[in-house]
Structures are given as C-alpha cells and as structure tokens.
Amino acid sequence: MQITPLNISEILNDDRRLRSLIGLGRDDFEKLSNEFSSCIKQNQLETRRKKPKKPHQRKIGGGRKSALGLPENQLFFLLFYLKNYPTYEVLAFTFNISRGCAFTSVQRLLPMLKQTQKNLKVLPKRTTDDPQELLQLMESVDHILIDATERPIQRPKKPSRQKKPIVEKKGFIPSRTRRSQIPISGS
C-alpha cells in the first residue's frame, strides 16, 4: 500500500476543503499568497546581501531546492500547521518531508508570514499603555472573553519564598501553580 502526500494543487481548487484545512477561502489565500511570495523574494535578497562568514562554494541559487517548492505551497504548509497544530512528525508525514525539514520550514516561514501580515496591515495591535487607546480600539467589540490559565511550578527551595497555605486543614496540600488571568472590568 502506497500512501501519497497531500496534493496541494487539487486542494487549492476545492474551496470547501481549503477552508477546512487552513481556514481561508481561495480569494483570501491568493491575496495572502501574492504578498507572501514577495516577502520570500525580499528575504532571499536580504540573505544574499549579507556578507557570508565563509566564501561561497557554489553559485547563488545553486544547491538543493526546497522540498515544499513554490511559495504558494510553503504558505499552505504554514497555514495548515497553524490551524491544525500537528506534531512535526505528523506534519512531515503529511507533506512527505523529514521531521527536521518540517521544523526548519516552520521556523523559517513564521517570520515571513508575520511580515506579510504587517505589509497587508492585518496584524493586530498587541499592546497599549493608554486605557483610552484601548477603548478606542475596542469600540466595535460587543463581547469580551477572558482567558485564564494555571501552570504547575516547582516548589521553591528557599523557605522564605514558600507561601504557607491560607487554609490549615488536615490533608490540605497547597497548590503549586502560577495563575495568569486577564482582568477586565465591565462598564
């Protein structure tokens, strides 16, 4: 039994399948793909302009070509990873590349996607220091969801850093977790 990798060109022609695999329709994917291609070319030019640590052994453009090929395929690969978040082993198997190549490709392409989003002016603003600016940014938002996480931490070794439990019950074990929460007051 032969298992074949994804046929990206076939998927790109099926809008329903494209949306289910990467979360974008054909038109949005094409817009993003055009800008992503120019970002890849720009990155290649910048890489060539940098003075190499060692002299080149082969001509520029020589060597093994990308396993993913076209920038369109690379964008599909990255969006597939970001939407589904598979392990690198599964990603490598799906696209018929090695695990190391999958990891390297994701790490190499993520900054280019971020630059593409910045060029298209669709990258959301992450931080604001002024509460008034935050209110202006959130004028069109009806509902806000608050996220909270709890992560286990190692018990501190210094007795002074160990917090005593608030409740002194028999069998009570204080929680060794760090809580992160976004507090927002409603108006």
Number of H helices, E strands in the chain: 7, 2
Interval 62-74: pLDDT, tens: 777 778 888 899 9
Instruction: Please report the pLDDT score of residue 82 as a whole number.
Output: 94
Interval 77-103: pLDDT, tens: 999 999 999 999 999 999 989 999 999
Q: Bridge-partner residues for 151, per DSSP?
A: 178
Token digits of residue 114: 């971020």
Computed over every residue of the chain, the mean pLDDT equals: 80
Stretch 141-153: mean pLDDT, rounded?
Answer: 75
Task: Tell me the CA end-to-end span of the chain in Å, nearest whole number.
Answer: 62
